[in-house]
Structure formats: C-alpha cells, structure tokens
Amino acid sequence: MSKLELLPAVDVRDGQAVRLVHGESGSETSYGSPLEAALAWQSAGAEWLHLVDLDAAFGTGDNRALISEVTRAMDIKVELSGGIRDDASLAAALATGCTRVNLGTAALETPEWVAKVIAEFGDKIAVGLDVRGTTLRGRGWTRDGGDLYETLERLNKEGCARYVVTDIAKDGTLQGPNLELLRNVCAATDRPVVASGGVSSLDDLRAIAELVPLGVEGSIVGKALYAKAFTLEEALEAVAQ
Ligand SMILES: O=C(O)c1ccccc1NCC(=O)[C@H](O)[C@H](O)COP(=O)(O)O
C-alpha cells in the first residue's frame, strides 16, 4: 500500500502566511513570512508544499511575485491554488515551475475553458472541490457553484487527473477531517483525491491514511502545524508505511 502524501499549507494574504477559519476573509491569524514557513516545512522533510494566493482567490489583489519567489525557492513539489481562472493566470502559475495547479472557481464558472486546459496540461491540473454539504463554492468560497457529484461526473468525463476535496465547514477549525465526504468522493471517481481541511491530530492523519486504498492520495495540513498540535516530522512518521 502506498503511503499518504502530506502537503503542508502556506496560505498567503497581503504578503503574510495566514490561516483562516472556514476560509472566511477577515478571520486571519498571521504566521509571518510565507518563505520562512515554506522553507521550514521543506527542512522538516516535506515532499510537497500547498501554496495558496488568498488575495487572488478573494479578488482582493494578488501575491503573484511572492508566490513565484516561494515556489522558485523550493526543491520540493509545489501545488499552487487561488485565483487561477484564465489563460494568463494559468500561464503565470505554471511559469513559476510549480508541479501542479488547483482550479476552483473556473471549474464552476468556465467549464469549457477547464475542459480545454485539462486536455492540454493533463496532470498539471487538479480541480479543487470546495464544498458546504454537497454544494460547491467558488470565488474564495463565497458563492455557490452547483452540485458536487454532478460536477465530479462532468470532470471525470473530461479527464480531470486529480481532485482536492475541502469541507469548508472543517477548514481551519481543527475539528477533524470529513472522512465520510472523502469516502463518498472516492466512490464517485477513480482519480486520486487529496484531502483538505480540519486535520487536528496525528490520529486524524492515520484515519485519512486508512482511505489510501479507496483513492485518497494525500492530505493538506495547515492550522494544526501552525498551532503546533504536532510537528511535520511527527506527521510524516505517523503516515510512513
Ligand atoms: O485554496 C483556495 O483556493 C482557498 C480559497 C479561499 C479560502 C481558502 C482556500 N484554501 C485553504 C486551504 O487550502 C487550506 O490551506 C487547507 O484547506 C488547510 O486547512 P486546515 O488544515 O484546516 O488549516
């Protein structure tokens, strides 16, 4: 059985590494330099970094230069998220040398464009399925964007390589992941799934790791690392097989 990949998160707002609660703008706790946070996760043994431009996601500007600087400074794989919605923002994201990008809003609002870039860029494109219940949310998680399973069916047919699944109700809360949601999404697709939102403990990570045979490939970890609920070294050890 392959091991669960861990993707420590660096969410950037106004040049700072932050964590939000339920992804809500204005709920930020600041954790300082994004570059220092990313380098710390890399030094601790991370193989992936999940890097989010929250301003681009919310439409309150962008941190494009800083995101590019952080990505270029990494020797590890980087997944970029936030505000990638058209050819220009996708080209800028891919030009950083990141390993893959997450498309969220675009998958809900411009499905033809997403189908086109999935066909063109293959597994460089993941789609973020950010849900409240089974309703997708776009525009920095502020607007409803359709039914999770209908969208998943469409994206499966279009050849989407991977999904990043976030239960917004859990995100940034340290209340544990939504394992039922992950099981249900895995049952509705044969593509790998990356879990996101709510991890609070090493036991949460072990519980997600038990879903690897169902199709869960990785887990993003944000708040728990910043709140020092455990170290990244401990997390990597917990999911090592
Ligand atoms: O990823 C986005 O585009 C995004 C948009 C708006 C608000 C939040 C967004 N992402 C948040 C994350 O990806 C978190 O880093 C991740 O879910 C970690 O959650 P947690 O472990 O609960 O801190």
What is the mean predicted confidence (pLDDT) over 7-21? 96
How buried is residue 35: exposed, middle or buried, by Cβ count under 10 Å (0-12/13-18/19+)? middle
Is the reported ipTM for this assembly greater than 0.90? yes
Q: Which atom of ligand 1 is nearest to the CA of 11?
A: 15
Instruction: Round the CA-based radius of gyration of the chain to a whole number and report it.
Output: 16
Query: Ligand 1 atom 9: the closest Cα is on which residue?
Result: 23
Q: Is the pLDDT of residue 1 over 70?
A: no
Provide residues with CB under 6 Å of ligand 1. Answer: 9, 11, 19-20, 23, 50, 52, 54, 57, 81-82, 104, 128, 140-141, 166, 171-172, 196-199, 220-224
Q: Is the pLDDT of residue 18 over 80?
A: yes
Ligand 1 centroid – CA 54 distance (Å): 9
Q: How confident is the model at residue 8 (pLDDT cuts 50, 70, 90)?
A: very high
What is the mean predicted confidence (pLDDT) over 87-109? 97
- Supply the pTM of this predicted model: 0.97
Residues 101, 107 contacting (CB under 8 angstroms): no
What pLDDT does 2 receive? Answer: 80
Q: Render pLDDT for 130-164 as a digit per residue (tens, 0 to 9).
A: 999 999 999 888 889 999 999 999 999 999 999 99
Q: How confident is the model at residue 46 (pLDDT cuts 50, 70, 90)?
A: very high
What is the mean predicted confidence (pLDDT) over 192-212? 98
Q: Which of 142, 140, 135, 189 is nearest to 167 (CA)?
A: 135
Query: Ligand 1 atom 2: the closest Cα is on which residue?
Result: 82
> Which of 63-72, 115-124, 140-149, 172-181 is least confident?
140-149
Query: Ligand 1 atom 5: the closest Cα is on which residue?
Result: 140
Q: Kindly report the backbone phi and psi dihedral angles of residue 104, in degrees, each rounded to the nearest multiple of 5, phi listed first.
A: -120, -80
- The overall average pLDDT reported for the chain is 96
Contacts of 159 (CB under 8 A, 6+ apart): 118, 119, 122
> Which of 69-73, 113-117, 142-146, 157-161 is least confident?
142-146
**Calpha distance 219→105 (Å, rounded):** 21
- In a mutational test of the pocket of ligand 1, which residue from 41, 84, 196 has the highest number of ligand atoms less than 8 Å from its CB? 196
Pairing of strands 29-30, 16-19: antiparallel
Q: Is the pLDDT of residue 241 over 80?
A: no
The residues annotated as belonging to the active site are 11, 130
Q: Is the pLDDT of residue 65 over 80?
A: yes
Q: Which of 181, 193, 189 is nearest to 219 (CA)?
A: 193
Element (H, E) at 57: helix 54-58
Ligand 1 centroid – CA 57 distance (Å): 10
The rounded percent of the chain whose pLDDT value lies above 90 is 95
Q: Which of 240, 231, 184 is nearest to 8 (CA)?
A: 231
